[in-house]
Amino acid sequence: MEESMDFSELIIRKMNITDYEGLIKLWIKAGLPYRHKGRDRKNKISEELKNPATNILLMESEHNIIGSIFATHDGRKGWINRLAITPEFRNKGLAQKLIAEAEIFLVHHGIEIIACLIEDWNKQSIKLFQKTGYKKHTDIIYFTKRLNPYV
């Protein structure tokens, strides 16, 4: 990618289900794992898109999906998930733009606590969220209960 790219041409927009294949291609290219038989299957994403407490945003450059972020909330706490930027567009401030857009959605819904879960090996994401004002908590233990192995 040329350094002279005009980022004013970028578009951040709400995802449509017709974008599903492009979203999955982005995740694969970005190295983000996805569960195609579980929570990331097309019909599950389609249901999420209908939920007013969910905003799935895509970033495009020249009609190509180059970024994604999910913003969700339960009425008390907001969550940022599935942040991905295609490798050739990384380290240009684009992830910060997606985070800011997700935060706007959450604040608009009255959310005052925004959180994200980052696996300890993902140093780049840890650094990014710290840079954007998120505080790392080392005193929290995360539990999950999965109802099937695909979610």
CATH number, domain at 81?
A: 3.40.630.30
Host domain of residue 66: 7-131
Classify residue 140: in a domain, yes or no: no
**DSSP-based three-state secondary structure for 20:** helix
Classify residue 61: in a domain, yes or no: yes
Classify residue 95: in a domain, yes or no: yes
- What does pTM read for this prediction? 0.90
Classify residue 2: in a domain, yes or no: no
- Going from the C-alpha of 108 to that of each of 72, 101, 102, 105, the distances in angstroms are 12, 11, 10, 5
Q: How far apart are CA 25 and CA 42, in angstroms?
A: 13
**How confident is the model at residue 53, as a pLDDT?**
97
Q: How many CA atoms lie within 13 A of 113 on its CB side?
A: 5
Classify residue 138: in a domain, yes or no: no
Give tens-digit pLDDT for 82-97.
999 999 999 999 999 9
**How confident is the model at residue 37, as a pLDDT?**
87
Give tens-digit pLDDT for 10-50.
999 999 999 999 999 999 999 998 888 888 999 999 999 99
pLDDT over 90 (residue 3): no
Provide the pairing of β-strand 11-14 with 78-85.
Answer: unpaired
State how many domains the chain has: 1
CB 150 within 8 A of CB 35: yes
**How confident is the model at residue 1, as a pLDDT?**
40
Classify residue 147: in a domain, yes or no: no
